[in-house]
A and B are shown apart, each in its own frame.
Chain A
Amino acid sequence: MMLCALTSFSQANPVAKDTAVFKQNYGLRIGGDIGKLVRSFLDDDYKGFEVNGDYRLTKKLYLAGELGIEEKTTTTDYLNTTANGSYFKAGVDYNSYVNWLDMENMIYGGFRVGVSAFSQTLNSFTVYNTDQYWNEQFTNSTSQEFKGLSAIWTELIFGIKVEVFNHLYIGLNGQLKVMITQDEPVNFANLYVPGFNKIYDSGRLGFGYGYTVSYLIPIFKKNKVVVPEE
Chain B
Amino acid sequence: MKKFSLLVILIILIGTSCERDDICAETTTTTPHLIIRFYDIDEQDNTKQVRLLTVNGVDPEGNVLENIVTNTSTDSIVLPLRFQNENIVTASIFELKRDSDFDTDTNDTTLSNTDIIVVSYTPEFVYVSRACGYKSVFNDTQNTLVIDSDNWIFSYEIINPTIENENSAHIILYH
Contacts and interface: CB of A to CB of B under 8 A. Distances in A.
A162 B3 contact: yes
A76 B136 contact: no
A172 B14 CA distance: 10
B136 A187 contact: no
Interface residues of B, number: 38
Contact of B82 (A38, A136, A164, A189): A136
Nearest to A165: B3
A206 to B, nearest CB: 12
Nearest to B92: A134
Interface in B1-22: 3, 6-7, 10, 13-14, 17, 19-20, 22
Contacts of A130: 30-31
Given A77-B133, A191-B130, A136 B13 contact: no
Given A78-B133, A201-B130, A133 B13 contact: no
A211 B14 contact: yes
A78 B133 CA distance: 5
A201 B85 CA distance: 27
B3 A128 contact: no
B68 to A, nearest CB: 7
Contacts of B133: 76-79, 125-128
A188 interface: yes
B64 interface: no
A78 B80 contact: no
A127 B20 contact: no
A117 B149 CA distance: 66
B54 to A, nearest CB: 15
B10 A127 contact: no
Given A79-B134, A211-B10, 14 more contacts: A35-B14, A39-B14, A77-B22, A78-B24, A127-B133, A127-B135, A128-B133, A134-B65, A162-B6, A164-B3, A170-B6, A189-B127, A191-B130, A201-B130
Nearest to A160: B6
B154 interface: no
A35 B11 CA distance: 9
Contacts of A211: 10, 13-14
Given A127-B136, A128-B134, A129-B30, A187 B127 contact: yes
Task: Please give me the 5 A-B residue pairs with the lowest Cβ-Cβ distance, nearest first.
Answer: A78-B133, A131-B80, A133-B80, A129-B31, A134-B82
Interface in B94-134: 125-134
A177 B16 CA distance: 19
B122 to A, nearest CB: 14
Contacts of B131: 76, 201
B80 A189 contact: no
A189 B7 contact: no
Nearest to B130: A201
A209 interface: yes
A138 interface: yes
Nearest to B18: A207
A39 B22 CA distance: 22
Nearest to B26: A130
